[in-house]
Amino acid sequence: MTFAIAAVLLVAQPAQAGRSCDAKKPSAATIERGLTLAERTHLALEADHARNGTQAVLLARAGQDLTKYGLRYSHLGIAYRTRDAQGGVAWRVLHKLNHCGTAEAAIYRQGLGEFFLDDLWRFEAAWVVPTPALQAQLVAVLKDESRAVRLHHKPYSIVSYVWGQRYQQSNQWAIETLAQGVEPGIASRAQAQAWLQFKGYLPTTLRLGPLTRLGARASAANVAFDDHPDAKRFSDRIETVTVDSVFAWLQRSGLGGAPVAVRL
């Protein structure tokens, strides 16, 4: 791996999507449950591979409690089947992580164990299996280091506008990279978003009043609302990419099947 790519595809660090780095360290029980969830996810994915040849999925975790917004999952990555240095089967996850609650993020390539060792709200994994053609296209993107980070945009907001380019949150990177996989000619975020609109993707609309927006913006560097159109922002409509909306769109569009879940 070249130095330039290594600077973007970082090794696992104690950074968490939308979390502060001064959060308490996980207990031994939490680590054990996270690794158990990773193991069960691996076994389920391998079983699906044996039945159907599955080689890539859109993989989610429940890192934050979003139930008041009607959402079940918080964070999305793209997982693919590969081989480790010893030749054994491994599932790797490429995903975008916010740097300790700052206004920037980077792309990480991790194993399932690392992916589920975040400070999870609920020990549950969920994934959608894309069509075989889309799986092959995604694997090609994920294994090509330059294409894997082509649409990454470092400035981060956890509620970035779905059709904006000023910021980019984790789920937004995943779905834009999926678009790039389907259409290799896509070379910009604007092109990826145009394709997603053409394919009928619909974001989640969060109802956030002015006091909520002001408080969030004032207390967290990784929250910004200035990329949202004024007409929507001032009518308390914050349109952003969520795992739940991506899963629903994949099934609705015929690009993927129904979500599969593993719970502890």
Amino acid at 144: D
Q: Residues 5, 145: contact at Cβ < 8 Å?
A: yes
Q: Cα(187)–Cα(151) distance, rounded to whole angstroms?
A: 7
Q: What local confidence, expressed as pLDDT, does residue 142 receive?
A: 95
Q: What local confidence, expressed as pLDDT, does residue 13 receive?
A: 37
pLDDT, averaged across the chain: 87
Q: What local confidence, expressed as pLDDT, does residue 209 receive?
A: 58
Q: Cα(181)–Cα(151) distance, rounded to whole angstroms?
A: 11
Question: Could you tell me which residues come within 8 angstroms of residue 212 by beta carbon, excluding any fewer than 6 positions away?
Answer: none
Among 205, 190, 195, which residue's Cα sits nearest to residue 253? 195
Q: Show pLDDT as tens, one digit a residue, over the chain (264 residues).
A: 332 222 233 333 334 443 446 556 778 888 999 999 999 999 999 999 999 999 999 999 999 899 988 999 999 999 999 988 888 899 999 999 998 888 999 999 999 999 998 778 899 999 999 999 999 999 999 999 999 999 999 999 999 999 999 999 999 999 999 999 999 899 999 999 999 999 999 999 998 755 455 445 445 678 888 999 998 888 888 999 999 999 999 999 999 999 999 999
Q: What local confidence, expressed as pLDDT, does residue 7 receive?
A: 29
